[in-house]
């Protein structure tokens, strides 16, 4: 496998497990949150899905200065609706990653707009996967706090 294929596999596996977790959330708990400063359960889902749109811009050297999210003013309807709306943005992101050469992964620098840090593209892409994994852990803790059986993601 090439580096790009491994990165795509990692993204795909992380998302598969996230979806398994998200599908374990009963609708009545969509707007549950552990405290007033936290995201709701469905906001976590959207945050992860919406991030693909931003990652796509960043890894393709686009500007985040006037970032406009396609999710702006979209109501929270369901996990299925969130996944369906996000699918074209996810596909666009993954297709973009597929186009990167080994040289680009190892030599091109990405500047993260949130903190200005420079990272090699390959390492930056791995951190994107880590971001979603962190939110999967957060979501698991939400399910535990809600008293809901947690889907088995350890396959």
Give the per-residue pLDDT at 46: 98
The pLDDT tens digits for 124-144 are 999 999 999 999 999 999 999
Give the per-residue pLDDT at 91: 98
Which of helix, strand or coil describes residue 15?
helix
Give the per-residue pLDDT at 101: 96
Q: Which helix (H) or strand (E) holds 111?
A: strand 109-111
The pLDDT tens digits for 43-86 are 999 999 999 999 999 999 988 888 999 999 999 999 999 999 99
Give the per-residue pLDDT at 116: 87
List 110's β-bridge partners, or say none: 119
Give the per-residue pLDDT at 99: 97
Predicted TM-score of the model (pTM):
0.95
96 pLDDT above the threshold of 90: yes
d(CA 88, CA 63): 20
Give the per-residue pLDDT at 155: 86
Mean pLDDT of the chain: 96
Give the per-residue pLDDT at 52: 97
**Cβ proximity of 32 and 76 under 8 Å:** no
* Long-range contacts, stretch 72-76, CB < 8 angstroms, 24+ apart: 76/30, 76/31, 76/40, 76/42, 76/43, 76/46
Q: What are the sequence ranges of the domains in the chain?
A: 3-26+35-146
Domain boundaries 3-26+35-146, CATH class: mainly alpha
């Amino acid at each position: 496998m090439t580096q790009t294929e491994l990165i795509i596999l990692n993204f795909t596996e992380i998302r598969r497990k996230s979806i398994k977790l998200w599908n374990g959330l009963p609708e009545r708990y969509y707007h549950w949150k552990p405290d007033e400063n936290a995201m709701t359960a469905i906001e976590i889902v959207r945050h992860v899905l919406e991030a693909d749109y931003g990652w796509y811009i960043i890894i393709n050297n686009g500007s985040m200065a006037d970032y406009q999210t396609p999710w702006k003013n979209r109501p929270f309807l369901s996990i299925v609706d969130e996944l369906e709306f996000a699918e074209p943005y996810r596909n666009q992101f993954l297709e973009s990653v597929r186009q990167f050469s080994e040289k680009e992964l190892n030599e091109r620098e990405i500047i993260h707009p949130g903190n200005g840090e420079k990272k090699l593209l390959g390492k930056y892409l791995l951190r994107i996967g880590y971001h979603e994994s962190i939110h999967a852990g957060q979501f698991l803790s939400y399910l535990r706090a809600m008293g809901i059986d947690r889907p088995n993601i350890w396959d």
